Structure 1
Amino acid sequence: MPARRTNDALKIPKGLNILPQKKALALAKDAEIGGLGIDWADRPEILDAAGLAEWGRLAAVYAHDATRFREGERAAITAYCSWWSAFAAAAEDVRDRGPVVEGRSDMDRGRTVKNPATVAMREASQQLRYWARELGLTTDARVRIGLADQGDDKTSDDDNPFA
């Protein structure tokens, strides 16, 4: 079996200080995993006003944590914001017209029916729950993926005089 080829140009020279070498390897590993931190200023053109508002809200909430979301998660965040927009539009329709509306089909003329926007709200809320869980946007999701909220850690030994 032939020896594995290596590209010497990609190797970190052995004479470098070990700390920068480890940092460089960590950055390379981060970039390999999902890219560097997401550029929140690069807003997806596909989003409407409500979706962009949610994108901006997430950007403000996570501005302090540069690598909480990575460029590799851009599509997932965009999907979440799109479903937020769909939910907001359906909720606005239910707010304006109510949960029941005048029937429009020949069979439903003259009677009230469930507002179709309630079905859209239900579908959007299911997708929002999925994406929020996937992205770790809820407390439960953060606990499941091992991201503890600051101030929420009740098991911290800092306040334990016996630790």
Structure 2
Amino acid sequence: MGRTAQPAALKLIKGRGNGKDSGGRPVNAGPAFKRLPPEPPEWLSDEAAAEWARVLPELARLDLVKEGDRSALAAYCEAWATFRDATETVQREGLTIQAAQGTLAHPAVAIARNAGKEVRAWAAHFGLTPSTEQALARGADDGNEDENPFA
């Protein structure tokens, strides 16, 4: 598999300006979706709902989320909740368990590892990774576009 395509807004924020991506290619804005933030599903776990409330305002402010992203954002939030729960279980019970076969890795270790991978994958889709944060910071609107000769 190749790289996952990024939303046009992220390409532009990371780009060279004037509608170009970081490679200097024109960015196709794509379809003009209404950028209205989705409502959280009622069935989200408490931790997933808290994560939704934490990330949605910034995603909406940056126009990186739309109603159609509801299921993907819910999957990200539930993956986060699973990661947290498994991590807390390992912290309470330890990395290993005693079984008939001897000392084994605690099942929550694998659950946390897998959920962490899922969190990172979903987070990248929404621009929630540290590298994307840096790109967003470089492309932030400080109101001084006219003063910047490189914009």
Task: Report the TM-score range of the alignment, normalised by the length of the smaller protein.
Answer: 0.5 to 0.7
Confirm or deny: 8 A CA contact 1:37 1:66 kept in the other structure: no
How far is 1:134 from its partner?
Answer: 1.2
- Among all aligned residue pairs of Structure 1 and Structure 2, give the percentage whose two residues are the same amino acid: 31
Match of 2:120 among 119, 122, 129: 129
* Separation (CA, whole Å) in 1 of partners of 2:73 and 2:140: 25
Q: Which residue pairs with 1:83 in the alignment? A: 79
Match of 2:136 among 122, 127, 148: 148
Q: Which residue pairs with 2:34 in the alignment? A: 35
Please provide the CA RMSD for this pair. 3.3
* 3-state SS in 2 of match to 1:148: helix
**1:98 to 2:72 alignment:** no
How far is 1:138 from its partner?
Answer: 1.5
Q: 1:158 to 1:97 in 2, by over 3 A?
A: farther
Q: Which residue pairs with 1:120 in the alignment? A: 111
* 3-state SS in 2 of match to 1:35: coil
Q: 1:35 to 1:136 in 2, by over 3 A?
A: same
Q: Which residue pairs with 1:70 in the alignment? A: 66
Q: Which runs of 4+ in 1 moved over 3 A?
A: 32-35, 60-63, 150-153, 156-160
- For normalisation by structure 2, the TM-score amounts to 0.64
How far is 1:152 from its partner?
Answer: 6.8
The structure with the larger Rg is: 1
How far is 1:77 from its partner?
Answer: 0.6
- For normalisation by structure 1, the TM-score amounts to 0.60
* Separation (CA, whole Å) in 1 of partners of 2:109 and 2:67: 34
* Separation (CA, whole Å) in 2 of partners of 1:82 and 1:68: 19
- Structure 2, unpaired ranges of 5+: 1-28
Q: 1:77 to 1:141 in 2, by over 3 A?
A: same
How far is 1:43 from its partner?
Answer: 2.0
* Separation (CA, whole Å) in 2 of partners of 1:86 and 1:158: 46
Confirm or deny: 8 A CA contact 1:134 1:141 kept in the other structure: no
How far is 1:36 from its partner?
Answer: 2.8
Confirm or deny: 8 A CA contact 1:87 1:124 kept in the other structure: yes
Confirm or deny: 8 A CA contact 2:40 2:70 kept in the other structure: no
* Separation (CA, whole Å) in 1 of partners of 2:140 and 2:63: 20
How far is 1:131 from its partner?
Answer: 0.5
* Separation (CA, whole Å) in 2 of partners of 1:113 and 1:97: 13
Which letter maps to 1:113?
Answer: L
